[in-house]
Amino acid sequence: MAKPAYNLDGTGGSCAFCGKPVNPSHNYCDWDCQVGHAKQLGGRVLAPNGLPIRCVTRDNVMLEHPHGDHPTYKWPVKVQYIGPVTADERSDAEHLYGLSASATDEEVRGAMGETHALVYYDEDVAVTLYDCSQAVWDVKTGELRTSSLWKHGHWKLVSIERPVTAPSQA
């Protein structure tokens, strides 16, 4: 059995799957080891679109989107930040996304893009989930109609087209 990844003395341990050294706060050396360990433990794959695994739950279910287990999940869709780039957005881009302090506004907006789970759509509206919150979008314009997290006029649904199936990690 691999040495625990986190040690009280602050030294690194070993990857829970392959045994390679890891940083003190990590359990795995890379994403492939996390997915491999979930498979080894008997986890099931929920990737109805054949897309790569992007989420492993605590009970080792492997999903193509964190909300991929929602009963009406269709596929992942892109949402783009189109609002003003303030000091807060610039700080997030630098500290969360690794952009330099001299990044352009377009680079900051690009880094802030999100992948939502499409759970409903018709010819007028699309409903998405992200971080357990819903948003309703106008299908024709991509404009946000209603949401508790995203500010109207600052976000846009890029497309609701089904993504091209990629090789699965299943």
> What does the pLDDT profile of the chain (170 residues) look like in tens digits?
454 555 555 566 899 999 999 988 889 999 999 999 999 999 999 999 999 999 999 999 999 999 999 999 999 999 999 999 999 999 999 999 999 989 999 999 999 999 999 999 999 999 999 999 999 999 999 999 999 899 999 999 998 888 876 554 44
Query: 114: domain range?
Result: 43-170
What is the pLDDT, as a whole number, of residue 162? 87
For residue 109, the SS3 value is helix
What digits encode the pLDDT tens for the residues 19-43?
Answer: 999 988 889 999 999 999 999 999 9
**47 contacts 168 by C-beta, under 8 angstroms:** yes
CA 7 to centroid of chain Cα atoms: 28
| Residues 107, 52 within the same domain | yes
| Residues 168, 106 within the same domain | yes
**27 contacts 18 by C-beta, under 8 angstroms:** no
- Total domains, the chain: 2
What is the pLDDT, as a whole number, of residue 169? 47
pTM of the model: 0.81
| Residues 31, 53 within the same domain | no
Burial letters 77-106, b for 16+ CB under 10 A, else e = bebbbebebeeebbeebbeeeebeeebeee
What is the pLDDT, as a whole number, of residue 1? 46
| Residues 64, 88 within the same domain | yes
| Residues 59, 110 within the same domain | yes
| Residues 72, 119 within the same domain | yes
Per DSSP, 79 falls in state: E
**138 contacts 145 by C-beta, under 8 angstroms:** yes
What is the pLDDT, as a whole number, of residue 166? 52
- H or E element: which one contains 117? strand 114-121
| Residues 30, 92 within the same domain | no
| Residues 138, 167 within the same domain | yes
**56 contacts 46 by C-beta, under 8 angstroms:** no
What is the pLDDT, as a whole number, of residue 10? 57
User: Among candidates 65, 78, 63, which has minimal Cα distance to 161?
Assistant: 78
User: Among candidates 66, 71, 72, 42, which has minimal Cα distance to 53?
Assistant: 66
CA 28 to centroid of chain Cα atoms: 18
| Residues 33, 68 within the same domain | no
| Residues 153, 100 within the same domain | yes
